[in-house]
Every structure is written in structure tokens, then in C-alpha cells.
Amino acid sequence: MPKKNIPGYLKHPSGQAYCRLNGKFIYLGRYNSKSSRERYEEVIAEYLANGKKLPPTKQQEEINIAELAIEFLAYAEGYYIDEQGKPTDTLAHCRLAVAPVVKHYGNNAVSDFTPLALIFIRDKWIEAGIARKTINRWVTIIRQMFRWGVIYKFVTTNTLHDLLAVPQLKKGRTKAPEYEEVQPVAPEIVARTLPHLNPVVADMIRTQALTGMRPQDVRNLRICDINTAEAVWSYKPRTHKTKHRGKPRVLAIGPKAQNILVPYMLEKQDTPEAYLFSPADSENARKLEMREKRKSKITPSQQQRNANRKKNPQRKFNEQFTKNSYSRAVRRACQKAGTITTITGLSENTEYEFQIRLVTEEKPIAWSTSIFITTAEATTKQKRPRKASRSFRSPSQTTDSITLTWTYIKEATEYEIRYRAIDKTAWLLITVPKFPEWHPHQLRHATAQAVRDQWGPEFCQAVMGHTNIDTVAIYAHANFEKAKTVMAEIG
């Protein structure tokens, strides 16, 4: 006898079991569970008894927005992953875009989500100060969710078509702010930041500045991806920004960058697939620096605690730096660079009184408690019955200078320090401007600008790896300054 055409017991990407009857999706519960199997048998029996038609009482109700969001995010979790199975940034954007839709319309039927509802969500983002391009991206994700729902018959084509009528926000036609254009970081700012980074991250910065790599590229450096056969090495990252579009990427590594990488490559020559720059190496470098600065001997109890930590570490470090950890290390170094200053021209073996205060956009804050420091001595003298602030201290002194450090305050626009010898009444005042915080992406722009100015757009395109030469125009930050120089002479 011919086999009957019976709809199958299927697994949905969300993990739910379902069967499709007369174009309708009938959800049965968790896939491969006993209850879903029993439910499947009941539904199929009623379907066959009704002449292969879905009984009116079994017509599936329209799902609501919250259910659609759950289904879509389950799909996104399996789709937006990299080669190592880790979620990409797009998945985070999907969750951020869908969250307010569920919050305001979660219990509404899918067909009730109209263009006005989408505009309401968009206006909420504008009120929250979200950038225009981010809002447009999130609106696209919401429409993508409904488009995905059309495929699985959760959403009608009419509902999707209506949502497509909502236009993208145009530049200059909305209150939503624009992204700040990425500016190249000045070499002198990088130079002042490097001493406050641990050696591993500092080498990452130097490598990126010399090669024009993206932060992702320097974080992904591995021996197995580097060809050292020629004088100028070639580096093919295992993954990169445009890999999903099928575009190749090869970076050139010159002699200066090679000198930075060689010690790391020698250390990891037995593990060519390991990342050259890792947080574990960074932590080891930090501990080594602390041991070198230590003046007292390590006690037996301290040695035992260190041994116990090695056997049972409380914190495990990742194999490579993430985008956030790399940027965070640079940001903290910038904060340290902006909270240290050296006052010179002081008298030898003289005690000085120091006070500090921060200046905000509103007004200066009151002066801090005084600290008393003597030049040419390694310790701080406290000659008055007043405790020095732990947030304002001097790590080093010479015969004619004193170095001061203090706690970083986010709201400060600048810091003011006043000082005087203890036998004087008049104060001397210095102002320390806020140190500019920069991020690794700005290194690429700085390198690109230097290459463009010295070698021209075509060489800049080759070094940066851009497909279109017009993209190089974003690095033309210095051109107007050149134009002003020319016009000052001939205009």
C-alpha cells in the first residue's frame, strides 16, 4: 500500500517542535519531549479525521510580539557567530533593538505593530540621545525580525510591507546626534601614554601604529598567519572586517614592526596558533614589574600564598584581548598620564606644601588637604598634625623636583595645583589640562594620514586595504591646514 502523506514532526530553530497543517504552524512544545510527541499524535489524528483539514477549533492563534522576538533572537543566536562560535556584535545590536519593542508592545498581536508603533520606538531612541546611524541600524533589525517572521508564517506580508514605509533618519533632518568623526591621535599623545601601559599592550600600540592595522588585526596576530619568507612580511588575518563579504586582506609588516614581534614569536614558536599578544602575558609582565620595584624581601607566607594562587587561580585570563579590554587598557593609561606632573626648579632639601583641586565646567572644587614633601628625600614628611590624602601623593623626588600623582576624576576639565615652601606665605599655581583620551582606532587614522600625506592616496589605499580609493578621503584631516598655509602666502 502507498504510504500516506502525513505532515512530519519537525524541529524549529527556537527548539520547539511543530508540524505544518494547511499552511499553519502548530507548535507542540519542547522538541523530542514526551508531551510534544503526544500532542503531535493528537493533532495529526484530528487532522486526518477531518479529511486532512485543520478543525476550526484547532486554528492556531496569531502570536504576539514577545513570542516573535523570542523566536527571532533564538535564530540570531545561531546565525550571528564567528568562526570560533562566539557571538558577534550584531547579536548584541539585535537584543538592544528588540528590547523596547517587547517592553511596549510585547502582548500585542504581531499584526498590531504598525508603522506608527515603529516610529514611537524610534522617537524613544532619539529622546535617549542614541546616534542617528545606530537608530537606523536598530530600525532595520526590527524590520528584519518581521521579514524573518514572514518566512515562517508568523507575520503577514502586509504587516511587513507597512513597516517598510517608515523612512531612515536623514542627516540634518532629525534631532538624533551624529557620530563624532574619528580623528587621528597625535604621536606626542601616544608617546605620553606608552609609559603608563604594560609592555604587552604598549607593543600592541607600537605595532598597530607602524603597520596601520585595525585593532582587530593586531589582537588576532598569530605565527601561523604570518609569512616571513621575504624582507617585508605578509600577514593574512584569520578573520577581518570584510571577510563575510568575500574580500581578502593581506597586511605588510616592515622591519620596525618585525623587531617588536620577534620576541613574542620566539616565545610561542611551539604554539603557532596561539595569539602573540595575550592577557596572560600582560599579567605576567605586570607582576614582573611589581617584583622588580619591590624593596622588601618576600616573606615565606607570601611565597606560600603565591604558590596556592598558581595551583588554584581565582581569575583565568582569556587567550586574546577583546575589543573592550584593549580599549580599556588604553583608556586607563590615558587617565594615568593625565594625573601625574613633575614640578621642577625647587630648592634642595626644602620642605614644600602642596594642595590640589579639580576644575569642572561649573566651578572649581575646594582645595584638598595639604601634603608636605621634602626634596632630595625618598619619604614624605608630615610635620603638621594633618593626614595626607591617599588620593594625592608623591611617588618620587629629586634634589630640585617633585613628582605628584592624584586620583582621576571623570568630571574634571583641568586640575590646579598650588605649592609653596613652608617658610613662605605666597602660593605658586600651576594648571594641568585634562589629558585627551584616545582609542586604538585612532592609531589607524594617524598612520593612514601620514602615509597619504607622504606617499599619496594610492599608496594609502594599498596600506589600509581599501577597495575603493574614495575611502582614503576620510584620512585627509591635515589638508585644510596645508591650504591655510598656502593661502597665507598667496591669498
| H runs (alpha helix) in 112-242 | 115-127, 132-151, 157-163, 187-193, 199-211, 215-219
Environment class of 220 (CB within 10 Å of its CB; exposed 0-12, middle 13-18, buried 19+): buried
**Residue from 193, 217, 203 nearest 330 by CA:** 193
- Intervals of the chain under pLDDT 50: 1-3, 57-60, 378-388, 478, 484, 487, 491
Cα→Cα distances 212→159, 193, 205, 257, Å:
46, 18, 10, 11
DSSP secondary structure string for all residues of 32-54: T-HHHHHHHHHHHHHHHHTTSS-
Kindly report the number of other CB atoms within 10 A of residue 238's CB atom: 14
**Residue from 113, 325, 303, 138 nearest 219 by CA:** 325
* The pLDDT of residue 209: 92
Alpha-carbon span 234 to 221, nearest angstrom = 12
Kindly report the number of other CB atoms within 10 A of residue 381's CB atom: 12
Alpha-carbon span 302 to 310, nearest angstrom = 13
484 contacts: CB under 8 Å, gap ≥ 6: none
Asked if 187-295+319-333 and 339-433 have one fold, the answer is: no
0.85 surpassed by pTM? no
* The pLDDT of residue 68: 92
Which CATH number is 339-433 given?
Answer: 2.60.40
What is the H or E stretch that residue 416 is in?
strand 414-421
Fold classification of 187-295+319-333 is: hpI Integrase; Chain A (1.10.443)
Indicate the average pLDDT of the chain. 84
Q: In the chain, what are the domain boundaries?
A: 10-58, 65-163, 187-295+319-333, 339-433
Which CATH number is 65-163 given?
Answer: 1.10.150
Backbone angles phi, psi at 404, to 5 degrees: -120, 140
Cell 619591590 maps to which residue?
294
pLDDT digits (tens, 9 = 90+) for 456-490: 877 777 777 766 666 656 655 545 555 545 546 65
